[in-house]
């Protein structure tokens, strides 16, 4: 069964004013749809057909550019939509909050580390909050559509929160002001979902 573009749990304009409706519509219906279609084409007739995206990425031959870019793109955007929500933001609670405090000292220090990873990723890429077996968390970034599930990237663990810093994610509204977009993202982080991701992968 081929991969399908996941439906959003909210309307394209639901994240305004932090992320504008036109950006959301193009990002989801064009970019993510493109990765999805290209992934399906790239794995058609191969051993990867029928496997989960997690299994495909974990055992990926990194020289396979079509699956690396489009499988990464499919997985990364699916996580991205899920970790955002209207009327969200604030701070995590419970065991995720405790893990963040253990690793960074405070939520504000985590926010600084994550924002810096996102702001300093040269060119296109992603910033991640990852959980490791045992519950420790860490922040890192990857270029292009790479992600921590792939082997050989300078970033490991299970991603529980991801931020797309490709220009297509923010340029219409923020132009070159990536730091403003990163700051705005914190107003739409769905910490309940991130906590769920943490709990199921720690
Ligand atoms: Mn994108």
The pairing of beta strand 137-143 with beta strand 158-164: unpaired
The tokens 């065991």 sit on which residue? 95
CA 174 to chain centre: 19
Distance from residue 61's CA to the centre of ligand 1 (Å): 22
**Dihedral in degrees, nearest 10, Cα atoms 92, 98, 100, 104:** 140
| Alpha carbons 153 and 163: distance in angstroms, whole number | 17
Q: What are phi and psi of 107, to 5 degrees?
A: -65, -40
Phi-psi region of 176 (alpha: psi -120 to 50; beta: other; left: phi over 0): alpha
User: How many whole angstroms from 94 Cα to the centroid of ligand 1?
Assistant: 30
Residues 6+ apart with CB under 8 A from 7: none
So what's the pLDDT on residue 121? 97
Calculate how far, in angstroms, residue 105's C-alpha sits from the geometric centre of ligand 1. Answer: 30
Res 143: pLDDT: 98
* pLDDT, position 114: 98
pLDDT per residue of the chain (202 residues) written in tens, 0 to 9: 799 999 999 999 999 999 999 999 999 999 999 999 999 999 999 999 999 999 999 999 999 999 999 999 999 999 999 999 998 989 999 999 999 999 999 999 999 999 999 999 999 999 999 999 999 999 999 999 999 999 989 899 999 999 999 999 999 999 999 999 999 999 999 999 999 999 999 9
Ion ligand 1 — residues with CB < 5 Å: 164, 166
Q: Ligand 1 centre from 169 Cα, in Å?
A: 5
> Is this model's pTM higher than 0.75 or not?
yes
Encoded tokens for 22: 């036109």
Pair 35, 74: CB distance under 8 Å: yes
d(CA 142, CA 155): 7
Of the candidates 77, 79, 82, 89, the residue with the CA atom closest to the CA atom of residue 169: 77
What is d(CA 31, CA 1) in angstroms, rounded to the nearest whole number?
Answer: 21
């Amino acid at each position: 069964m081929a991969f399908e573009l996941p439906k959003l749990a909210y309307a394209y304009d639901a994240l305004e004013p932090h992320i504008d409706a036109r950006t959301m519509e193009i990002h989801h219906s064009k970019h993510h749809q493109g990765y999805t279609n290209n992934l399906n084409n790239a794995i058609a007739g191969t051993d990867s057909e029928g496997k989960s995206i997690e299994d495909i990425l974990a055992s990926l031959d990194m020289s396979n550019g079509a699956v690396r870019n489009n499988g990464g793109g499919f997985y990364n955007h699916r996580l991205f939509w899920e970790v955002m929500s209207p009327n969200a933001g604030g701070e995590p609670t419970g065991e995720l909050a405790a893990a963040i405090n253990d690793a960074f000292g405070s939520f504000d220090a985590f926010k600084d580390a994550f924002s810096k990873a996102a702001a300093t990723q040269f060119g296109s890429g992603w910033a991640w909050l990852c959980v490791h077996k045992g519950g420790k968390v860490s922040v890192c970034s990857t270029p292009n559509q790479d992600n921590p599930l792939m082997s050989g990237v300078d970033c490991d663990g299970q991603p529980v929160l991801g931020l797309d810093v490709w220009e297509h994610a923010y340029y219409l509204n923020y132009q070159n002001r990536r730091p403003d977009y990163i700051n705005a993202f914190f107003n739409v982080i769905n910490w309940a979902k991130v906590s769920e991701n943490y709990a199921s992968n720690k």
